[in-house]
Amino acid sequence: MDPRPRPAFRFVRRLLVGIVLIGALVVGGTSFRVWQVARVDDQTSADVVIVLGAAQYDGRPSKVLEARLRKARNLYEQGVAKHIVTTGGRQPGDEYTEAEAGVIWLTGQGVPEDAVIGVGTGRDTLGSMRAAAEEAADQGWRTAVIVSDPWHSLRARTMADDLGLEARTSPTHSGPIVQTRATQIRYILRETAALLYYRATRAPADWIGITEDVAVDK
């Protein structure tokens, strides 16, 4: 009996090896881009700063959301943009939307009321970004600086670009999501999967990798 593999078997084996290698390159390349964009803090002047929502409690931002709002306030004070849009809807049982909590915090920190717009629709990144893009179009704004957590930046920017905004990112580097190396690795892996899912389906992917201790992040 000829011990050599049959041509059909060799073809299937090579095909499977090729698929695995391509998959590894795609996943690895995406993870690198998530990490790379997370390190970018682009404070080029824009029409608006868009703050992505996170959990709030009776109008009080969670630590994750407060870190994002603080970054947005700093960008406003530095003259990066004259307007801030806060995003995020209302979870079941909530009295306030995440956007409203953001407006309350920012105006309480001295940002003028006419400089802040709350867009309280959307319960995931895509929904929030779509609502923000519609508000930007209504206002005639074309350029935006997106504020979120570092690992979230690439997916948020990708969605904004797909929605017609000229977007750049200026993530917060404070708060619970960026405190430990283990948390950072977990979020890079989560965002890699979420971005690949979004690119394949154009659907929200915020449910990927959520556990009880990180569910405050959107």
CATH number of the domain bearing residue 123:
3.40.50.620
pLDDT at 212: 35
Among residues of the chain, what percentage have pLDDT more than 90? 71
31 lies in some domain: no
pTM for the full predicted model? 0.87
What is the overall mean pLDDT for the chain? 90
Per-residue pLDDT reduced to its tens digit, 92-149: 888 999 999 999 999 999 999 999 999 999 889 999 999 999 999 999 999 999 999 9
Asked whether residue 8 is domain-assigned, the answer is no
DSSP class of residue 96 equals S
Q: When comparing pLDDT for 212 and 54, which is higher? A: 54
List CB contacts of 12: < 8 A, sequence separation 6 or more.
none
Rg over alpha carbons for the chain, rounded to the nearest Å, is 20
Let me know if residue 67 belongs to a domain: yes
Residue 32 lies in a domain: no
Lateral strand order in the sheet of 166-169 = 116-119, 84-87, 48-51, 143-147, 166-169
| Cα separation, 167 vs 149, whole angstroms | 15
pLDDT at 211 over 80: no
Total number of domains in the chain? 1
Task: Tell me the residue range of the domain where 180 lies.
Answer: 38-214
